[in-house]
Amino acid sequence: MQIAFTGPRQLTKQQEGNIYKDFSYFISNHKADWHVGDAPGLDNFVRRAAGYYKKQLTVYEVEGTEKWHFVERSKRMIDAIAALSDAWLYAFPNKLCPSECKPCKSPNGGGSGTWLTIAYAKYRGLQIYLFPLFQTQFDDTSCLPDWMKEPEAEQLSLF
């Protein structure tokens, strides 16, 4: 199993506590190699957790300071695992998806690198597991963009 991570560059203490609970309850138990960027915030949390949980870790470094360099880093991480079987993106968005963000070859994250990475992973066909860092009700999908929602079952007519 291969797991790539994306999330905000800044975390509150409460968000770190919630992420720690997700890691100890759900994430650390998977036999998986981890993939993450070199940013502060969630990326830094994952890098520290990888050592604690003894996970094989690949860190993707940004190669410049322009906005497109950060996009390129995220796309490089997703591309590295997209063709592998049992590859996932575990995403920790801290806000709703910007309306202009859609899955495509060159997504516009509308200011959110996390949602840009999610959109690109969706475009590449990765399985995505969301861990929202904002308040939602259990099983409430209203916070998801349409492209993340499961299509509703449609009754087919025989005639």
119 belongs to a structural domain? yes
Cα separation, 85 vs 117, in Å, equals: 19
Spell out, as residue ranges, where the chain has pLDDT lower than 70: 136-142, 150-159
Rounded distance between C-alpha atoms, residue 100 and residue 111, angstroms: 10
Whether residue 84 is contained in a domain is answered as: yes
Q: Is residue 59 part of a domain?
A: yes
State the pLDDT at residue 153: 44
Residue 159 forms part of a structural domain: no
The answer to whether residue 115 sits within a structural domain is yes
| Domain contains 78 | yes
| Residue 155 belongs to a domain | no
Give residue 99's domain range: 2-148
If DSSP states are collapsed to H, E and C, what string results for 38-99?
A: CCCCHHHHHHHHHHHHCCCEEEECCCCCCHHHHHHHHHHHHHHHHCCCCEEEEECCCCCCCC
What does the pLDDT read at residue 159?
A: 47
Is 154 part of a structural domain of the chain? no
CATH code for the domain in which residue 122 is found = 3.40.50
pTM of the prediction? Answer: 0.88
Give the model's pLDDT for residue 46: 97
pLDDT tens per residue across span 20-42:
999 988 888 889 999 999 999 99
Count: domains in the chain = 1
Q: Which pLDDT does position 139 carry in this prediction?
A: 64
